[in-house]
């Protein structure tokens, strides 16, 4: 199964993601979840960036929070709504929201 997970919270415990089993896992950071892609705590990037190479962050949500797409960690692809629709229909079989 190919699973895309929308992460909308910054203080999410990763144990839920650890329990998910997928052949391909994609994480799409939305709303406050985009802080995982842009913010470092104590000099370290979010541990969620280590979960999968398939990482995405919504450009609109980044900009709404006063940041720029250039602030996003290089491992994360910045996407817009159209890109997310393409991902859901072309790359992933199932989606989940955390």
- Which domains can be identified in the chain, with CATH numbers? 2-97 (3.40.1260.10)
**Can you tell me the distance from the alpha carbon of 38 to that of 51, in angstroms, rounded to the nearest whole number?**
16
| pLDDT exceeds 70 at position 13 | no
**Can you tell me the distance from the alpha carbon of 25 to that of 14, in angstroms, rounded to the nearest whole number?**
14
pLDDT at 41: 81
| pLDDT exceeds 90 at position 19 | no
Three-class SS of the chain: CEEEEEECCCCCCCHHHHHCCCCEEEEEECHHHHHHHHCEECCEECHHHHCCCEEEEEHHHHHHCCCCHHHCCCCCEEECHHHHHHHHHHCCCEEEEC
As a whole number, mean pLDDT of residues 29-49 equals 91
As a whole number, mean pLDDT of residues 52-67 equals 96
- Region of poorest pLDDT, from 3-12, 26-35, 76-85: 3-12
As a whole number, mean pLDDT of residues 30-55 equals 91
Would you state the structure tokens that stand for residue 75, as one six-digit string? Answer: 């491992």
* Count of CA atoms in the C-beta half-sphere (13 A) of 78: 15
| pLDDT exceeds 80 at position 23 | yes
pLDDT at 12: 65
């Amino acid at each position: 199964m190919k699973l895309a997970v929308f992460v909308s919270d910054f203080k999410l415990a990763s144990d839920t993601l650890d329990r998910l089993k997928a052949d391909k896992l994609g994480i799409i950071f939305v709303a406050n979840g985009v802080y995982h892609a842009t913010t470092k705590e104590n000099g370290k990037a979010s541990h969620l960036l280590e979960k999968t190479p398939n990482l995405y962050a919504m450009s609109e949500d980044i900009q709404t929070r006063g940041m720029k797409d250039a602030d996003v960690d290089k491992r994360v692809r910045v996407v817009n709504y159209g890109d997310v629709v393409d991902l859901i229909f072309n790359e992933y079989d199932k989606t989940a929201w955390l």
